[in-house]
Amino acid sequence: MKFTIHKTSGSARTGVIETAHGAIQTPVFMPVGTAATVKALSVDDLKEIGAEIILGNTYHLMLRPGAERVERLGGLHKFMNWDGPILTDSGGFQVMSLSKIRKITEAGVKFQSHIDGTEYMLSPERSIEIQHKLGATITMIFDECTPFPATHDVARESMELSLRWAKRSKDAYVERPGYGLFGIVQGSVYEDLRRISAEGLKAIGFDGMAIGGLAVGEGQDMMFKTLEHTVPHLPTDKPRYLMGVGKPLDIIGAVMRGVDMFDCVLPTRNARNGQIFTKQGAINITNAKYADDASVIDPNGGISALTKYSKAYLHHLIKANEILGCMLCTRINIYFYVNMMREIRAAIAAGQLEEYYEGMRKVFVKEEAEM
């Protein structure tokens, strides 16, 4: 993988990640396709919207349909008919958050599936093997997702375990031109632990660096503070990925602190509940005031879901639990996020990112407090 920085504005930067499956313009938002699909969207929808990379998940795909089956069927790209880059999460977060019973040892994590109770063992080596069988363009190391809040001692032990697992992940990884392996910085909200983690990962050597263990309840101020004492310890010539962060103001604020890549289920999950992201802020389309509203979301929008369907129709579809309502609202939200990243890149190039942030803050600060 090759990463080239084009423009900088303060700590923010625009660039391009060149991969075996195409180029990724950064900063970028990655729609979450947990089980080989971005919920309610086809790959044609994603291409029309302009998505350049999507995210899959080791935990869910190992349970069903199984990594070996996906490999037999030609890999994840062929299986889901998506020819762009795919980043796969290692499964560490889902093992901690979804599995019924789990036991963490130096070897890995033994757990029971949340689906049927079947017992599995996921180690750094097995996680990397699964991601290789899936054909991930960007593979993530297997780490322990530190709970929040955590004492300094707990966070230190968790971070040190993740560093040992990072080395084993690197040793198990099969290098190929145009593919990459990312490390994950842990250490909770403790500045010294974040620095130790970052330095340890740099010594091992990775193609990109992720920042994990945030957006888990610490609040925006603490998240930004943690970024400010983490990012300076990361390589300047490698992409930086803030995992699981998806509120618009959180994303812009993180970009201003030097982050390049993002993912979150928020735009797809909220779409299914009728929350739509617009340039005027987030709206709840199930609100009674939209029942007779014949106007569209955005007559100048870039996709038909914005320009051809009235708010009254979208209101009806979501209230009636019609599948089309989820599809249209999801298209709108993913388009909003992809377009927001285009606007962020343009603002960085023009040296106007702070002005862009202030403009977005005026319309989103109230809504984000309620998300």
- Active site (catalytic) residues: 89, 263
Stretch (H or E) spanning 23: strand 22-26
Task: Give the C-alpha separation, 50 to 338, whole Å.
Answer: 7
CB 142 within 8 A of CB 90: yes
Token digits of residue 221: 């101020």
Task: Give the C-alpha separation, 204 to 171, whole Å.
Answer: 10
CB 229 within 8 A of CB 195: yes
- Chain mean position to CA 158: 22
68-69-71 Cα angle (round to 5): 65
Task: Give the C-alpha separation, 38 to 141, whole Å.
Answer: 22
Question: Beta strand pairing status for 119-122 and 109-112?
Answer: antiparallel
Main-chain dihedrals φ then ψ at residue 14, nearest 5 degrees: -105, 155
Task: Give the C-alpha separation, 79 to 102, whole Å.
Answer: 30
Task: Give the C-alpha separation, 10 to 136, whole Å.
Answer: 32
